[in-house]
Structure 1
Amino acid sequence: MPEKRIVSDRLSRRTLISTALILLVIPATIMFGIFVLDDRKYYFVSLLIILYTMLPFALVFEKRKPQARELIVIAVLSAIAVAGRAAFFMLPQFKPVVAIVIIAGVSFGAEAGFLVGAVAGFVSNFFFGQGPWTPWQMFCFGIIGFVAGILFKKGLLKKTRLALCLFGGLATFFIYGGIINIGSLMMFTSTFSWEALLATYASGFWFDMVHAIATVMFLAILSRPMLEKLERIKSKYGLIER
C-alpha cells in the first residue's frame, strides 16, 4: 500500500512540462507583452497563454485519440466560472471563479485547473472589458487551480470543506492578490518602486479581502456537491487521469 501511494504521488511528465510553462514561459510572455509590445497586444498575449495551457493536454492524447467527453467537462467548468463571474457583476470582487477553478484542479488535475482559470479569465472579460489586465487575471486564476491540483496530487490538500475553504481563502488573498497588485502597478506606472508597490497593496487590501471571503463562501457551498458529482462523472466515463 505505501508503495502504491508513492507512485500515485509522483508528478507526471506533462505536469512537469506544465510547471515550466506556467512558472517560466507564461510570466516571460506577459513581460514580453509589457516591455516589447508596450502592453497593447493583450489579445495576442492572452491567446498565447491559452495555447500554452493546452499543450500539456496534447501529451495526454499522444498515444490515443481524444474523446469529446474528456474535454466537455472542462469546457463546462470554464463556462460555469464565466457565468458565475457575470452573475455577480454588481458585487465588485465577490466572484465564484477561484472556487470553481480550485474544484477543477482538485478533480481533474493541475493542468485542468490552470486551463479552466485561464479560459474563464479570458472569456469573462468579453463581458467585463478586455485590456492589459486580462493576461494577469488569466495567470492569477490559473495558477491557483494549478497549485490546488499539485497539492491535492501530493496529498497536501484534502477534499474536506475546511481544507478547501482554508486553501481558497489564503490562495485568493496572497496568490491572486499578491500577483494582481504587481500587475496593477506595472500597468499604470513606468517606474517601479517599493513604496509604490506597498501603496498598491494597501489600496487593494479590502478588495483582496472581499475576494478571499467570497472564495471561502462559495467553496463552503459548492465544493462538496460539485466534487461528488464530478467524481461520479469521472468514474462512469473514465475521464482524464491525473
Structure 2
Amino acid sequence: MARAVWALGIVLILLIGVLAWLEPVRKHPLLVSLFFAALMIVPFVLRFEWRSLDSRELVLLALLTAIAAVCRVPFAGLPSVQPTTFVIIVTAVVFGAESGFVVGAGAALVSNIFLGQGPWTPWQMLSWGLVGLTAGALQNTPVMRWKSLRLLFGFIWGFLFGWIMNLWVVAGMENWSLSTFAAVYVASLYFDLAHGLSNLFFLALFSSTWIRILQRFKVKYGLLER
C-alpha cells in the first residue's frame, strides 16, 4: 500500500510537470497551480487515512497540529520567523513521515484561519507537509539522530520552503521571464534565511527535549507504532 501511494505521488508530480507546458494550462497558471498543489497532497493524506488509528492517536495528532499552528500566530509580526517548522520536524522524527506530513499540512490550514486564507494556503500545506514527510523518511538515519545534521536539515528546509512558495508567486504573474523568475527568488533570500535561522535556533534549543518527551508518550501508550 505504501509503495502504491508513493508511486501515485511520483506519477502526479511528473504529470504536473508535463501539463504545466500545455497552452490552456499556461493561460490560467494560478488557478491550475492551486489545483495541482492540492492534488499532490491527496496521496499522502489517503495513505494516512488508510492506517488503523485509535482515538488517542487522533487526539495526539490533532494536538500537535494545533500546537504547530498556534505557535505561528505570535510570530506573525516577524516574517518567516516561527517555531512551526520545528514542531513539524520533531513530530515526524518520533511518529514517522505520514504523521509529519499530516501535521505539517494541517498546521498551515489551521494557522491561516487566524492569519488569512488565500491562494498561498495549498502551497503552504504542501511545503510544510513535505518538511514532515522528509524528516520522517530520515527518522532512522544519522540526519535525524545526530543533532548537528538535524540542525543542518532544518536550516536547508528554511530555503526549500521559500523556494516552493515562490512558485505560486511566479504562477500568479501574467507575464514572466527568466529575469523575473530570478528576481522573485533573489527577493525572497532574506525571508528564506530568516526561516532557516529560526529553524536552527528552535531545533538547537528544544529539539532534543521535545523528541525525548514525545518518544516517552509513544512508548508508554503505544501510539502510532508501525
Structure 2 Cα separation of the partners of residues 75 and 27 of structure 1: 32
Over the residues paired in the alignment, what is the CA RMSD in angstroms? 2.8
Residue in structure 2 matched with residue 8 of structure 1 by the alignment: none
Residue in structure 1 matched with residue 154 of structure 2 by the alignment: 168
1:61-140 matches, cutoff 5 A: 61=52, 66-140=53-127
Which of 170, 179, 195 aligns to 1:185? It is 170
1:141 aligns with 2:166: no
Residue in structure 1 matched with residue 205 of structure 2 by the alignment: 221
The runs of 5 or more residues in structure 1 that have no matched partner are 1-12
> SS in structure 1 opposite 2:73?
helix
Structure 1 Cα separation of the partners of residues 176 and 14 of structure 2: 17
Residue in structure 2 matched with residue 204 of structure 1 by the alignment: 188
1:143 is displaced (CA, Å) by 0.5
> SS in structure 2 opposite 1:107?
helix
Structure 2 Cα separation of the partners of residues 128 and 45 of structure 1: 23
Structure 1 Cα separation of the partners of residues 54 and 195 of structure 2: 36
Which amino acid letter does the alignment assign opposite residue 86 of structure 1? V
Residue in structure 1 matched with residue 49 of structure 2 by the alignment: 58
8 Å CA contact 2:34, 2:123 repeated in 1:
no
Distance 1:26 1:135, change over 3 A: farther
8 Å CA contact 2:41, 2:126 repeated in 1:
no
Instruction: State TM-score, norm by structure 1.
Output: 0.79
Which amino acid letter does the alignment assign opposite residue 212 of structure 1? G
Distance 1:42 1:199, change over 3 A: closer
1:182 is displaced (CA, Å) by 1.8
Structure 2 Cα separation of the partners of residues 67 and 36 of structure 1: 46
Structure 2 Cα separation of the partners of residues 42 and 122 of structure 1: 17
> SS in structure 2 opposite 1:157?
helix
1:17 is displaced (CA, Å) by 4.0
Measured against aligned partners, the alpha-carbon deviations of 1:171-190 in whole angstroms (never above 9, x if no partner) come to 221x2122111221112x02
Which amino acid letter does the alignment assign opposite residue 115 of structure 2? F
Which amino acid letter does the alignment assign opposite residue 200 of structure 1? V
Measured against aligned partners, the alpha-carbon deviations of 1:74-127 in whole angstroms (never above 9, x if no partner) come to 111111110110121121110111111111111111111111111111111111
> SS in structure 2 opposite 1:94?
coil
Measured against aligned partners, the alpha-carbon deviations of 1:163-208 in whole angstroms (never above 9, x if no partner) come to 21111001221x2122111221112x02342211110011100011
> SS in structure 2 opposite 1:98?
helix
The runs of 5 or more residues in structure 2 that have no matched partner are none
> SS in structure 2 opposite 1:158?
helix
Instruction: State TM-score, norm by structure 2.
Output: 0.84
Structure 2 Cα separation of the partners of residues 142 and 73 of structure 1: 17
